[in-house]
Amino acid sequence: MQEFRTAALVAAHLRGLGLEVREKVGGTGVVGILRGGKSGKVVALRADMDGLPVTEQVDLPFRSRVRAQWNGQEVGVMHACGHDNHVAILMGAAEVLAGMRAQVPGTVVFLFQPAEEGPGGAEPMIRAGVLDDPKVDAIFGLHVWPGPAGDVMVRGGPTMAAGNGLNIIVRGRQTHGAAPWGGVDPIVTGAQIVLALQTVVSRNINITRLPAIVTVAQFNAGIRSNIIPDSAVLVGTIRTFGREQRAEVLAAVERIATQVAASAGATAEVRLDAGYPVTANDEALTARMRGSIERAVGAEHVQVAPLITGSEDFSYFQERVPGVFLFLGITPRNEDWTKAAQNHSPRFFADESALPNGVRTLSSLALDFLTGAPPAAPTRAGR
């Protein structure tokens, strides 16, 4: 929630276009409302605005040199996930649609959201009424991603994973490192839990339906070389693509952790944070709007998006109204996009030649949804 300058720039731009502007929505969020020349439905377009505590390592004239406080430390800050691109694209779409206001049969709501990277800005904006005043009928969002610059990737149904934070506290009994028989070792027990958790996906979940991930990324225990501590803490993440699957995975994690600990005479307390839900594109809306995307960028530049194991709080908007979340390729076309620096990397780079296709896509989606433009033609077999 530190997007103060960005929010001010966005608000000034929207006012310059003659839009109704609301600031400090759900924190630092900005809402722009374009009321068209004719009455009709309401469509929302969303962009996130926040950066990340990452020091930029790309040698560019506009490389970020910003420093900020994060968890008590001074760190570098950059747009390592491309949210500056999202803001620019949505500002461009606002300019396009404002320029044809008389032909817009309805209302377009532009949502500039803070804190997608955490703690989450979608829910505060929803609580502030961004989907209710005016009442939104559908929402579209876009994220830059490794892929050929300018290509648009989309799929119906589950698209990005639900994310749950995992925290397991293993409690044993402290003893001298030279007399391990005098206690219960939480480090050995924790190691056994880490290994056993590898069976959650490989042996408990039907991955022919949808994939899942259980990762333990931190193992914290002990303060001295000759003391077996009384506890150990395991920290990680869980990613799933469906509500039933999510429940199965979470239940398996708790069962395995507690039973492995019990077998060693220890205990395990499993704590799971709620995390973001699955980003699931409305199937009917996705099918209907594919033609709009193809008309915007050319059918040859529209691809089926892969399942992405990252999480997105755009999912909260989709729980309230039908929505579609797309991806825009931003890897230079003369480079191998499969080897491009991933989002959140200090070497993340977006080819700005892709941004006009982002503007075209969001503008077309909004206008075609409001006008009821025809869907894509049926795809020929073998294409």
Q: Stretch 120-132: mean pLDDT, rounded?
A: 97
User: Do both 11 and 78 map to the same domain?
Assistant: yes
Compute how many other C-beta atoms are within 10 angstroms of the C-beta atom of residue 211.
Answer: 16
Catalytic residues: 276, 352
Q: Stretch 160-178: mean pLDDT, rounded?
A: 98
CA-CA distance, 350 to 368, in Å (whole number)?
A: 28
Q: Among 272, 300, 316, identify where a domain stops.
A: 272
pLDDT at 214: 98
**Structural domain total, the chain:** 2
pLDDT at 378: 58
| 217: containing domain | 162-272
Domain-located, residue 347: yes
Q: Stretch 60-76: mean pLDDT, rounded?
A: 85
pTM for this predicted structure:
0.91
Please write the tens of the pLDDT for every residue from 333-350: 999 999 998 888 898 899
Query: Could you tell me which residues come within 8 angstroms of residue 325 by beta carbon, excluding any fewer than 6 positions away?
Result: 140, 141, 142, 143, 159, 160, 279, 281, 312, 314, 318
pLDDT at 383: 39
Domain-located, residue 232: yes
Domain-located, residue 77: yes
Q: What band does 382 get if pLDDT is binned at 50, 70 and 90?
A: very low
Domain-located, residue 376: no
Q: Is the peptide bond before 134 cis (omega within 30 degrees of 0)?
A: yes
Q: What band does 90 get if pLDDT is binned at 50, 70 and 90?
A: very high
21 has a pLDDT exceeding 60: yes
User: Do both 36 and 145 map to the same domain?
Assistant: yes
Please state, for a pLDDT cut of 90, what percent of the chain lies above it: 81
Query: Which letter does DSSP use for residue 335 in this model?
Result: S
Domain-located, residue 282: yes
Compute how many other C-beta atoms are within 10 angstroms of the C-beta atom of residue 363.
Answer: 24
Distances 14 to 32, 178, 194, 267 between C-alpha atoms, Å: 6, 69, 51, 56
pLDDT at 53: 83
Please write the tens of the pLDDT for every residue from 193-245: 999 999 999 999 898 889 999 999 999 999 999 999 999 999 999 999 999 99
User: Do both 84 and 180 map to the same domain?
Assistant: no
User: Do both 154 and 174 map to the same domain?
Assistant: no
Domain-located, residue 87: yes
pLDDT at 377: 62
Q: Stretch 33-59: mean pLDDT, rounded?
A: 92
Q: What is the mean pLDDT of the chain?
A: 94
Q: What band does 32 get if pLDDT is binned at 50, 70 and 90?
A: very high
Residue that the structure tokens 């800005």 belong to: 121
User: Do both 225 and 339 map to the same domain?
Assistant: no
pLDDT at 380: 47
CATH number at residue 81: 3.40.630.10
CA-CA distance, 238 to 272, in Å (whole number)?
A: 9
More confident residue, 255 or 116: 255
